[in-house]
A and B are shown apart, each in its own frame.
Chain A
Amino acid sequence: MSDFVREHLLSVLVFLPTAGAAVLLLFPRTLEREAKIFGLAIAAAVAFLSLPLWWRFDVLQKGFQFREQVPWIPPLGISYSLGLDGISLVLVLLTTILTPIALLFSLSHVEKEVRGFSIAFLVLETGMLGSLVALDLALFYVFWEVMLVPMYFIIGIWGGARRIYAAMKFFLFTMAGSLLMFLAILYIAIRHHSATGAWSFAFEDLYRLSFSGRIETLLFVAFALAFAIKVPVFPLHTWLPDAHTEAPTAGSIILAGVLLKLGVYGYLRFALPLFPEAAMRYAPWLGILGIIGVIYGALVAYPQPDMKRLVAYSSVSHLGLVVMGIGAFTTMSLQGSILQMVNHGLSTGALFLLVGVLYERRHTREIDAYGGIAGIVPVTTALFLIATLSSIGLPGLNGFVGEFLILIGAWASPHRGWAIAAATGVILSAVYMLTLVMRVFWNPLKNDENKKLTDIRPSELVAAGLLIVLMLWIGTRPNDVLDRIRTSVESLQETVSTKRLALAEKGSARP
């Protein structure tokens, strides 16, 4: 048994949650608390099983590890093909860690349709992990789309007042992008078939293809659009504040923590190596849109009256920085971007969680409804402050490392100005986040209802505490993570440059 798990570790991680969800379907409806605990136990088991990935991962090896490959639809060359490199490794662990944390928080807060809630999260985890480890484009697309359905239910059933609108908008926006990507995937596979006579949807086969300029651009745009909507890159971000604000706390944690990163991941994994020429031609646009996102997100976050909406806009800003780092395309900025995705998952996850702690007690997210509660809920305050400091990049915490790498990476790139422009966003983030902390926790205590607030519960404390520990760990020992990303980033750059070189030679050889 353990050998089986060892050899099929990725499959086990991807499908254990769905298996758990299937078991939950058989649970009698009266066992509500048991259903919650069972869901949490499955997610925790997945997290526990994913830890060996960290140690068994060979830091120096290029290419994919923990490979698994079984034919799935042989006549079309579609295979069930999984694998992991440094980039997916860190995101897989982020996913397996954030899911039980989200469920742990929900343990004492979700009352409605408890069984369905656990099922939705487990299916969602399968979708997320599957997208991160799939190396076949058809398989990837299946996981990528399957994610939407549980998230639609999570926002739509357990969300806030405007949940229906938010759920629909989320679904339609993401679907719009991915449908174009679907056609592009089909087109590439058909081209592969006509070029080689064999059907294949495997990433490693398809990326050997090269396309003429205009077609490459169109295909790149189809892919990039799907991923940019997910990230979301300005100006495609409008679904995000709605979805984040209306989603239940656990949903926001997963949305911000993992789902958004999948857009960046998809771009790095597929769009860049498949269409390097177009990707590099449009990289400056990406960088500039990223910078606009950084500044726009920060400026819009500042005046938000709603805590969750503020944190949601801060995500637009932070992910803008990540996107800019990818546009700059230096080893350092890429590493920084990937690390920053993990950091953002931890810090924003913690912020959403702590906002959820307050919301569950006062049932309002209005910043003005709070104020001066630092003395009443000291532990929550302390945790919130740490998460804030991590989010704004205080040295010693994780956020600093990522931001610093992105900025010096951008400085070293041809686009020196980007670093300067993006740095303003970093400063602005300190302004709006610290203002938020001040208005919620300090300022005079005016509202009598706030005097009755109770401090964080043990289950919430464990959930938030885990995130804080991880922040401190990455903040003090960033190389543990960076070492695991480095080889993959370098080989990604190498892939892109060799393919571009080959294309250029082919282009010059042509009369």
Chain B
Amino acid sequence: MTESFVQFTREDLAAIAPETALAVAGCVILLLEAFAPKLRRWFASIALLGVAASLYFLAHAPFGASFGGRLETSTLTLLVGLFLGGCAALAILVAKPYLERSGEEKGEFYALLLWGHLGVSLMTRGLDLLIIFIGLETLSLAFYVLAAFFRGVEASSEAGLKYFLTGAFGSAFTIYGVALLFGASGSSRLEALTRPGLAQSPAVAFGLLLLLVGFGFKMSLAPFHAWAPDVYQGMPTPAVLYLSVAPKGASLLVLYRVFSAVFSSGMPDRFRTAIAALAILSMTLGNVVALAQRDIKRLLAYSGIAHMGYVTIALAVFGREALAAVIIYFFAYLVSNAGAFAAVSALYRDETKAHPLALLAGEGRRARFASAVLALCFFSLAGIPATAGFIGKFFVFKAALEQGLYALALIGIANSLVSIGYYLKVVYVLYMREPVDAQGPPPLAPADGLALALCAIGIVALGIFPTDLMQVARRAAEVLPLAGP
């Protein structure tokens, strides 16, 4: 191996510019924090600018693989970059009023968020297992700190520690899997995994299973989900907004990437069975346990576990159409889930305390806009037609039926019914109960309002006119060497 990381061309620099922009924006915010703390109120804008610049550079990066075939720029990474950038932008929009209210508006929040975002972005673009792993670790380190952001609050420290311990555990699985794949193929590049005959190697099979576990942790896929409810509860809501959407989508994309490299001629049945089992377990456990939750953030954590189960069906299906379904699903999940967390952030006054459902009682009549968006997001998460969530489920179940996975689709549908129980419970609390909290929610901040409006528009627009996204997602899915449909 003579090629090295140290030598790179102008094209390589252009290709990495999106990540560079994020890193620089984070550094600028930290420096300003240290030397010009009066500029604090501009931090959110700088962070947003960083995300926008990153997207701009991504759109202008030369297509193809750079850094000697280690970093991809393609329709796929462009579309995924849009998804991730949208998620980061929403998180920043929500973070601004959230941090102001909690009196903790510090530059490091934005800096860590941007660096975490950088890691996720690298994960989705990496064509080398080490790049992917570095991305994963960058994300994890940033969010370990974000989880413990409220230093003085016990729940937040607990969240930080829990996320760190389970995250380190998950990373260990991942790196062991990477090592096995490296050992079997002789290279950390994904390309090397396409060599014929590797698919039958036990080392590769074991390595893939370990990756499934490692990224399963990040996706909060049952049975690797146990961290999610506690971490969601203790972590600042805007950080949860990001963590609950972007890294999950990126993890599933990575799995798709690695699996498609190894199984270019189709996924073996034992893998399909294993993945289907994870999907079923995740859907069922998430939905059933969510029914018993009394805290909205924990409820959303379990709802997220269930949703990762639904979308993992599309990994079990494994095909071009199914990858398109994954992309559509995650866009739908972005607007619905990010909208829900934005509403949670806007509806609760005490940021550092628990978020009991009971406090939402009667808010439908007081905080009309935030409540209406929360209800809309929940109808979307429940998969009611004319919302984005329905479109996501539509494509996933369609892919499953096309592949002949009838039982999986049926179990998914049964789970959708169960999920209605807890989604409607929140709508009921919002609209059909009398207020209990005398103080009521804080007044709606403009940034919150904007984030909520964007999500609501996204839910309705995607729910009624999914054609464009569908066509782009199909084109993006052609990037990976998958069999059609």
* A and B bind: yes
* Residues on A facing B (Cβ under 8 Å): 72-76, 113, 141-142, 144-146, 148-149, 152-153, 156-157, 163-164, 167-168, 171-172, 175-176, 179-180, 182-183, 186-187, 190
Chain A residues whose C-beta falls within 8 Å of the C-beta of B265 in the assembled complex: none
**Chain A neighbourhood of B398, CB < 8 A:** 186, 190
A–B pairs, 6, beta carbons within 8 Å: A76-B470, A141-B385, A163-B432, A175-B417, A183-B401, A187-B401
B402, A180: Cβ atoms closer than 8 Å: no
By the criterion CB–CB under 8 Å, are A190 and B401 in contact? Answer: yes
CB pair B431 A171 closer than 8 Å? no
Contacts A75-B467, A75-B471, A113-B365: A179 and B417 contacting too (C-beta < 8 A)? Answer: yes
A168 to B386, CA, bound (A): 20
Interface contact A172-B421, CB-CB below 8 Å: yes
Chain A residues positioned under 8 Å from B420 (CB to CB): 171-172, 175
Q: B404-432 vs A: 1/0 string, CB under 8 Å?
A: 00000110011011001100100110011
Contact partner of A142 (CB less than 8 A), chosen from B385, B401, B428, is B385
Q: Which residue of A lies closest to B470 (CB)?
A: A75
Binding site for A on B (CB under 8 A): 365, 379, 384-386, 390, 394, 397-398, 401-402, 409-410, 413-414, 416-417, 420-421, 424, 427-428, 431-432, 466-467, 470-471, 474
On chain B, the residues within 8 Å of A73 by CB distance are 466-467, 470
- Do the beta carbons of A156 and B428 come within 8 Å of each other? yes
The smallest C-beta distance from B388 to any residue of chain A, in angstroms, reads 13
B413 smallest CB distance to A (angstroms): 5
- Measured CB to CB, the closest approach of chain B to A113, in angstroms, equals 7
Using Cβ atoms and an 8 Å threshold, which residues of chain A touch B416? 179
Who on chain B is nearest to A113 by CB?
Answer: B365
Among B390, B394, B424, max chain A CB count under 10 A is at B424
Q: Which residues of A contact B432 (CB under 8 A)?
A: 156-157, 163-164, 167
Q: Label chain B's interface by main secondary structure.
A: helix
Q: Which residues of B contact A172 (CB under 8 A)?
A: 417, 420-421
Known: A163-B432, A183-B410. A152 touches B424 (CB 8 A): yes
Minimum distance in angstroms from B57 CB to a CB of chain A = 31
Q: How distant is the Cα of A167 from the Cα of B431 in the complex, in angstroms? A: 13
B385 in contact with A183 (CB, 8 Å): no
A168 to B401, Cβ gap below 8 A?
Answer: no
Q: Roughly how many angstroms separate A365 CA and B407 CA in the complex, as a whole number?
A: 47
A164, B402: Cα distance in complex, Å: 39
Question: What is the CA–CA distance of A182 and B428 in the complex, to the nearest angstrom?
Answer: 25
Given the complex of chains A and B, what is the CA–CA distance between A175 and B384 in angstroms?
9
Whole-angstrom CA separation of A144 from B386 in the bound complex: 11
Bound CA–CA A183/B416 (angstroms): 12
> For residue A155, which residue of chain B has the nearest CB?
B432
Q: Closest CB of chain A to B280's CB: distance in Å?
A: 16
Neighbouring A residues of B431 by C-beta, 8 Å: 153, 156-157
- Report the minimal beta-carbon distance from B365 to chain A, rounded to whole angstroms: 7
- B401→A145 contact, CB < 8 A: no
Smallest CB separation, B464 vs chain A (Å): 9
**Total A-B pairs in contact (CB under 8 Å)?**
70
Q: Which residues of A contact B410 (CB under 8 A)?
A: 183
Q: Given A149-B379, A149-B384, A164-B428, do A186 and B401 touch, yes or no (CB 8 Å)? A: yes
- Tell me the minimal C-beta distance from A247 to chain B in angstroms: 13
Q: Are A74 and B467 in contact (CB under 8 A)?
A: yes
Docked complex Cα distance between A144 and B398 (Å): 19
6 A-B pairs closest in CB distance: A142-B385, A145-B385, A179-B413, A156-B432, A73-B467, A186-B401
Chain A residue contacts of B428, Cβ below 8 A: 156, 164, 167-168
Question: In the complex the two chains form, what is the Cα distance from A187 to B404 in whole Å?
Answer: 10
Residues of B within 8 A of A186 (CB): 394, 397-398, 401
Please determine whether A146 and B384 come into contact, CB atoms closer than 8 angstroms: yes
| CA gap between A179 and B397 in the complex, in Å | 11
Among B385, B416, B420, find the residue whose CB has the most chain A CB atoms closer than 10 A.
Answer: B385
The answer on a CB contact under 8 Å between A183 and B413 is yes
Compute how far the CA of A187 lies from the CA of B432 in the bound complex, rounded to whole angstroms: 38
Q: How far is the CA of A113 from the CA of B474 in the complex (A)?
A: 45
For A146, give the chain B residue with the smallest CB separation: B386
Q: Which residues does chain B contribute within 8 Å of A175, judged by CB atoms?
A: 417, 420
Q: Return A462 CB to nearest CB of chain B, in Å.
A: 31
B-side contacts of A74, CB under 8 Å = 467
Question: In the complex, what's the smallest C-beta–C-beta distance from B294 to chain A, in angstroms?
Answer: 17
| CB nearest neighbor in B for A153 | B431
A71 to chain B: closest residue by CB: B467
Task: Give chain B nearest CB distance to A472 CB in angstroms.
Answer: 40
In the assembled complex, the Cα of A156 lies from the Cα of B430 at a distance in Å of 11
**Knowing that A75-B471, A142-B390, A183-B409 are A-B contacts, what are 7 other residue pairs whose CB atoms are under 8 Å apart, sorted by A's residue number?**
A142-B386, A145-B390, A171-B420, A172-B417, A172-B420, A175-B420, A186-B394
A73 to B470, CA, bound (A): 9
In the complex, what residue of chain A is closest to B376 when comparing beta carbons?
A149
Per the bound structure, the CA–CA distance linking A72 and B463 in Å amounts to: 12
Question: What residues of chain B lie closer than 8 Å to A182, measured between beta carbons?
Answer: 397, 413
Residue of B nearest to A187 (CB): B401
- CB contacts (< 8 Å) of B424 on chain A: these are 152, 168, 171
**Shortest beta-carbon distance, B41 to chain A, in Å?**
33
Residues of chain A contacted by B414 (CB below 8 angstroms): 179
The interface residues of chain B lying within 8 Å CB-to-CB of A163 are 432
**Which residues of the other chain, B, contact A149 by a CB distance below 8 angstroms?**
379, 384
Bound Cα distance from A205 to B420, whole angstroms? 33
Instruction: Chain B residues near A152: list those with CB within 8 A.
Output: 424, 427
Assuming the A-B contacts A171-B424, A172-B420, A182-B413, are A146 and B401 also in contact, with contact meaning beta carbons closer than 8 angstroms in the complex?
no
> Bound state CA distance, A384 and B351, in angstroms?
57
Alpha-carbon gap, A373 to B416, bound state (A): 50
Residues B385 and A180 in contact, CB atoms below 8 Å apart: no
CA distance A186 to B432 in the complex (A): 35
Distance to closest chain A CB from B417 (angstroms) = 5
Q: Which A residues are CB-close (under 8 A) to B397?
A: 182-183, 186
A369 to B417, CA, bound (A): 40
Q: In this complex, what residue of B is CB-closest to A141?
A: B385
**What chain B residues lie within 8 Å of A167 (beta carbons)?**
428, 432
A190 interface neighbour in B385, B386, B402, B427, Cβ under 8 Å: B402
- In whole angstroms, how far apart are the Cα atoms of A157 and B386 in the complex? 23
Closest to A176 in B: B417
Q: How far, in whole Å, are A156 and B426 apart by their CA atoms in the complex?
A: 13
In the complex, chain A residues whose CB is within 8 Å of the CB of B409: 183
Question: Closest residue to B431 on the A side, CB-wise?
Answer: A157
Q: Which residue of B lies closest to A172 (CB)?
A: B420
Cβ of B485 to closest chain A Cβ, rounded Å: 9
Output the nearest chain A residue to B418 by Cβ-Cβ distance.
Answer: A172
A238 to B385, CA, bound (A): 25
- B384: contacting residue among A148, A187, A190, CB under 8 A: A148
Q: B413's closest neighbor in chain A, by CB?
A: A179
**Once bound together, how far apart are the Cα atoms of A365 and B414, in whole Å?**
37
CA distance A141 to B386 in the complex (A): 10
Q: Enumerate chain B residues within 8 angstroms of A141, measured Cβ to Cβ.
A: 385
Residues of chain A within 8 A (CB-CB) of B474 are 75
Expressed in whole angstroms, the Cα–Cα distance for A183 and B420 within the complex equals: 17
Contacting residues, chain B, for A153 (C-beta < 8 A): 431
In this complex, what residue of B is CB-closest to A179?
B413
With CB as the reference atom, state the residue of chain B lying closest to A25. Answer: B372
Most chain A beta carbons < 10 A, residue from B394, B417, B432: B432
Tell me how far the C-beta of B112 lies from the nearest C-beta in chain A, rounded to whole angstroms.
Answer: 39
Question: What distance in Å separates the Cβ of B482 from its nearest Cβ neighbour in chain A?
Answer: 18
| Bound CA span A75–B470, Å | 9
Chain A minimum-CB-distance residue to B372: A25
Q: In the docked arrangement, what's the CA distance between A148 and B427, Å?
A: 14
